[in-house]
């Protein structure tokens, strides 16, 4: 019994250009800047290794500054790519439908959060 086995070799991958590598690095820097600290803090709170302190004015200002750093990092990456916020879907001024959807999302999520909190 003769077996007809053919070996399919994968296509050679083209080398990653420096532009593609740069875009990937920018992507990971923006993601790390925006999500690393909140994700780590939330995980520590979830597993009981950390308690959240009171929300003082200084802590709120620090949180706002952290968000601004994340947005500035995104702006720098977009600027390097010769793009702007409208290229990724951010429009100023926002359309009234977008604002209405945001409020509807909040009003839908808030009662769910209250119910989950009351069950604990």
Average pLDDT estimate for 33-45? 86
For the stretch 54-74, pLDDT in tens is 878 888 898 889 889 988 988
For 117, the domain range is 91-120
Q: Could you read off the pLDDT of 78-106 as tens digits, one per residue?
A: 898 898 888 887 777 778 888 889 899 99
Q: Is 56 helix (H, G, I), strand (E, B) or coil?
A: coil
User: In angstroms, how far is CA 68 from the centroid of its own chain?
Assistant: 14
Q: What is the pLDDT of residue 105?
A: 92
Can you give the pLDDT at residue 107? Answer: 92
Token pair in block for residue 63: 């949180």
Count of structural domains within the chain: 2
- Both 71 and 43 in one domain: the answer is yes
For the chain, percent helix, then strand, then coil, each to nearest 5? Answer: 70, 0, 30
∠ Cα 99 70 72 (to 5°): 90
Please tell me whether residues 75 and 113 are part of one structural domain.
no
Q: Beta-carbon neighbour count of residue 34 at 10 Å?
A: 17
Q: Which of 29, 104, 18 is nearest to 73 (CA)?
A: 29
Same domain, 83 and 31: yes
Is residue 7 a part of any domain in this protein? no
């Amino acid at each position: 019994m003769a077996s007809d086995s053919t070996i399919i070799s994968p296509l050679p991958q083209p080398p990653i250009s420096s532009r593609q590598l740069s875009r990937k690095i920018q992507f990971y820097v923006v993601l790390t800047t925006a999500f690393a600290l909140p994700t780590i803090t939330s995980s520590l709170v979830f597993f009981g290794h950390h308690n959240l302190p009171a929300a003082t004015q200084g802590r709120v200002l620090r949180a706002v500054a952290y968000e601004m750093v994340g947005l500035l990092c995104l702006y720098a990456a977009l600027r390097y790519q010769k793009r702007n916020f409208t290229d990724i879907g951010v429009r100023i001024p926002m359309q009234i439908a977008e604002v209405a959807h945001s409020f509807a999302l909040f009003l839908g999520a808030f009662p769910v959060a209250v119910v989950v909190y009351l069950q604990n």
